């Protein structure tokens, strides 16, 4: 029933071209020989338009020869509809084709609608089934597009593009009905930025990385040698194929560690850093924690990242999940650039290529500012308006001292108080959190007293908590309208946290979308995003302007949502991610 026209030579494309110009909306899909836009090839490009046969273009034959015509066709539509636009945009870009203007991404729309009656899974087949009652074949994903094309491949390809038009029709109504239009706009605009960022990737200095690896490997060996007296020396067996066999004790096994600790008279529920913090004076525990830290750095980062460098670009291309977290935050993987250790030695390996600089900006206390807005806390709002240091203010309120007498340590402790208590942490939690995260010790009595004084000082936050506790909402919205539903197992802290984290994500995504538009035609590329931080790479000569631009765009995005509180982004120019 699907009707398409297969184009495999330039003459045919020229002949039909005029039928595909100046429509309002088109559905676009592509088929490729794999997932990596730099290593794999674009095979088919399908363009579906109402009232016309769907164009199915063999890109092996028509690129680059038909590039200008295809670009002209794409440009002539006001709105392009994709399923997972990021993927197609990257492949088109690799082939010199650019998507511009408004786009509608059915996958992103589906993710936003998950909390408003939509299906949990957002693959095209699920969406078509749920919103249109249409059964789509899933064969396409498994088929091979590198050889001769089959009738089925063309037909299914055309169908996927056609269904997008129908899906958009239904999903727009759903988005409107559920008041998700604004957040959808933010997501769609942001999608361009994410595609761009994944396409360009980030540069890693492999020499520096290898040096660091050697150094950490050495430290780990030394640490392990010091551990042997406690865990027993390895039994060495020389065999034909293995040089060495490790003893029966495996320091990576929490199970074995737990029984060893038990034997030493140390009773803990588990072997986590948190549980062991109480015994941090014990020399074995101390060594164990150090060992695990080094092992983590080696296994998770140092030994894996070199294998993920793309052979074509020689750069790292992490994969971002635009709605990876249910809060609306992004996730990241392969590798997860958002969890690279903060140590300077690690971050210094991520740099610009020759003659380039990194421009790094992060929001100052964005979640606390969002809370001030949500809770409408006059004291917090005033503090931010006056440009005061909120951690210092909290220290002075909680310790009942003059603000100028607050020491560095007291400010550090107040940081724990601010971040912990606004999200519903109890006194006991506050105590251990302060110890673990900020190295600040407080007694249980102090923690209780701090908590009490905190909520006296910040009445708005207190009322906000009280209201949520009283009404136990089953759902919440961010300031851009993103919806989150709570399950029966959700507690208070989730209810305090999700809309705040999500609003911070709205703001960041809004900034990314704007930024993408501003950097067209410049030397600037986006290379990393980490929740409240954006990293750009640009020519050294443009670094100053880039820094100004980035700061302005981020702050404008913040102030678009936080009407009563100034939003500040702190920017720096550097050779590497380690900063100045």
Positions touching DNA (CB under 7 A) are 250, 252-256, 258, 270-274, 289, 292-293, 296-297, 299-300, 304, 321, 324-327, 329, 331-336, 338-343, 362, 419-420, 423-430, 432-433, 437, 491-494, 497-498, 501, 530-533
Q: Which DSSP category does 573 fall into? A: E
**Would you say 41 or 274 has its CB closer to DNA?**
274
Coil, helix or strand at residue 350: strand
**Would you say 53 or 310 has its CB closer to DNA?**
310
Q: How far is the CB of 139 from DNA (least distance, A)?
A: 21
**Got the DSSP string for 225-244?**
HHHHHHH-PPPP---SS-S-
**Got the DSSP string for 192-213?**
HHHHHHHHH-B-B-HHHHHHHH
**Got the DSSP string for 370-437?**
HHHHHHT-HHHHHHHHTT--HHHHHHHHHHT--GGG--HHHHHHHHHHHHHHTTT--HHHHHHHHHHH
- Say if CB 543 and CB 531 are below 8 A apart: no
**Would you say 125 or 534 has its CB closer to DNA?**
534
Among residues 327, 360, 333, which one has the least CA distance to residue 478? 327
Q: How far is the CB of 577 from DNA (least distance, A)?
A: 10
**Residue 400 to residue 293: CA distance in whole angstroms:** 38
**Would you say 90 or 166 has its CB closer to DNA?**
90
**Would you say 320 or 384 has its CB closer to DNA?**
320
**Would you say 79 or 268 has its CB closer to DNA?**
268
Q: How far is the CB of 318 from DNA (least distance, A)?
A: 8
> H helices of 278-333, where?
283-296
Q: How far is the CB of 176 from DNA (least distance, A)?
A: 26
**Would you say 153 or 351 has its CB closer to DNA?**
351
**Got the DSSP string for 138-196?**
-HHHHS--SSPPPHHHHHHHHHHHHHHHHHHHHHHHHHHHTT-HHHHHHHHHHHHHHHH
Indicate if the alpha-carbon torsion angle 439, 344, 213, 313 is positive or negative. positive
**Residue 367 to residue 380: CA distance in whole angstroms:** 12
**Would you say 21 or 492 has its CB closer to DNA?**
492
- Say if CB 44 and CB 146 are below 8 A apart: no
**Would you say 163 or 302 has its CB closer to DNA?**
302
**Residue 526 to residue 519: CA distance in whole angstroms:** 9
Q: How far is the CB of 328 from DNA (least distance, A)?
A: 9
**Residue 526 to residue 359: CA distance in whole angstroms:** 9
Q: How far is the CB of 161 from DNA (least distance, A)?
A: 28
**Would you say 143 or 270 has its CB closer to DNA?**
270
Cβ neighbour number for residue 462 with a 10 Å cutoff? 16
Q: How far is the CB of 241 from DNA (least distance, A)?
A: 15
**Residue 72 to residue 308: CA distance in whole angstroms:** 36
According to DSSP, the β-strands at 569-574 and 533-539 are unpaired
Q: How far is the CB of 11 from DNA (least distance, A)?
A: 46
Q: How far is the CB of 459 from DNA (least distance, A)?
A: 20
Annotate 418-476 with three-state secondary structure.
HHHHCCCCCHHHHHHHHHHHHCCCCCHHHHHHHHHHHHHHCHHHHHHHHHHHHHCCCEE
Q: How far is the CB of 216 from DNA (least distance, A)?
A: 12
Q: How far is the CB of 534 from DNA (least distance, A)?
A: 11
**Would you say 27 or 420 has its CB closer to DNA?**
420
**Would you say 99 or 398 has its CB closer to DNA?**
398
């Amino acid at each position: 029933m699907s009707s398409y026209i297969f184009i495999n030579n330039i003459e045919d494309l020229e002949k039909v071209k005029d039928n595909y110009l100046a429509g309002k909306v088109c559905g676009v899909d592509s088929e490729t020989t794999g997932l990596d836009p730099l290593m794999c090839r674009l095979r088919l490009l399908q363009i579906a338009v109402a009232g016309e046969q769907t164009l199915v273009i063999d890109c092996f034959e028509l690129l680059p020869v038909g590039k200008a015509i295809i670009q002209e066709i794409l440009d002539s539509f006001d709105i392009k509809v994709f399923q997972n636009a990021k993927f197609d945009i990257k492949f088109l870009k690799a082939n010199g084709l650019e998507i511009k203007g408004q786009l509608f991404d059915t996958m992103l729309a589906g993710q936003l609608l998950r909390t408003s009656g939509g299906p949990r899974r957002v693959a095209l087949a699920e969406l078509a089934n749920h919103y249109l009652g249409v059964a789509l074949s899933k064969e396409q994903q498994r088929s091979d597009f590198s050889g001769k094309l089959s009738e089925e491949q063309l037909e299914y390809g055309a169908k996927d593009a056609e269904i997008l038009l129908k899906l958009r029709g239904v999903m727009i109504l759903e988005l409107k009905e559920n008041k998700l239009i604004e957040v959808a706009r933010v997501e769609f605009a942001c999608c361009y930025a994410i595609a761009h960022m994944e396409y360009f990737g980030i540069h890693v200095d492999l020499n520096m990385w290898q040096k660091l690896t050697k150094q950490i490997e050495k430290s780990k060996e030394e640490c392990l040698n010091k551990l042997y007296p406690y865990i027993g020396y390895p039994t060495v067996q020389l065999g034909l194929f293995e040089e060495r066999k490790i003893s029966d004790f495996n320091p990576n096994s929490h199970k074995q560690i737990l029984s060893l600790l038990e034997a030493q008279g140390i009773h803990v529920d588990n072997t986590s850093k948190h549980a062991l913090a109480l015994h941090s004076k014990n020399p074995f525990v101390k060594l164990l924690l150090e060992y695990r830290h080094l092992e983590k750095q080696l296994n998770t980062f140092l030994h894996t990242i070199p294998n993920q460098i793309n052979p074509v670009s020689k750069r790292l291309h992490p994969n971002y999940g635009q709605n990876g977290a249910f809060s609306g935050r992004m996730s990241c993987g392969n590798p997860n650039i958002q969890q690279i250790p903060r140590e300077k030695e690690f971050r210094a390996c991520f740099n610009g290529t020759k003659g380039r600089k990194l421009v790094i900006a992060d929001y100052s206390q964005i979640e606390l500012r969002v809370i001030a807005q949500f809770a409408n806390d006059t004291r917090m709002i005033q503090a931010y308006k006056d440009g005061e240091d909120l951690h210092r203010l909290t220290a002075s309120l909680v310790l009942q001292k003059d603000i100028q007498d607050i020491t560095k340590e007291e400010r550090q402790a107040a940081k724990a108080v601010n971040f912990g208590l606004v999200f519903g942490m109890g006194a006991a939690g506050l105590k251990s959190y302060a110890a673990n995260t900020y190295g600040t010790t407080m007694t249980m009595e102090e923690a209780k007293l701090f908590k009490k004084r905190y909520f006296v000082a910040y009445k708005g936050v207190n009322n906000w908590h009280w209201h949520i506790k009283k009404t136990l909402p089953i759902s919440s919205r961010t300031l851009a309208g993103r919806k989150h539903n709570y399950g029966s197992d959700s507690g208070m802290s989730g209810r305090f946290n999700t809309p705040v984290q999500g609003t911070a994500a709205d703001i960041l995504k809004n900034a990314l979308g704007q930024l993408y538009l501003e950097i067209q035609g410049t030397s600037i590329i986006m290379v990393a995003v980490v929740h409240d931080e954006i990293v750009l790479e640009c020519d050294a000569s443009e670094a100053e302007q880039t820094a100004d631009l980035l700061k302005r765009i981020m702050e404008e995005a913040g102030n678009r949502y936080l009407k009563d509180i100034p939003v500040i982004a702190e920017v720096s120019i550097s050779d590497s991610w380690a900063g100045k």
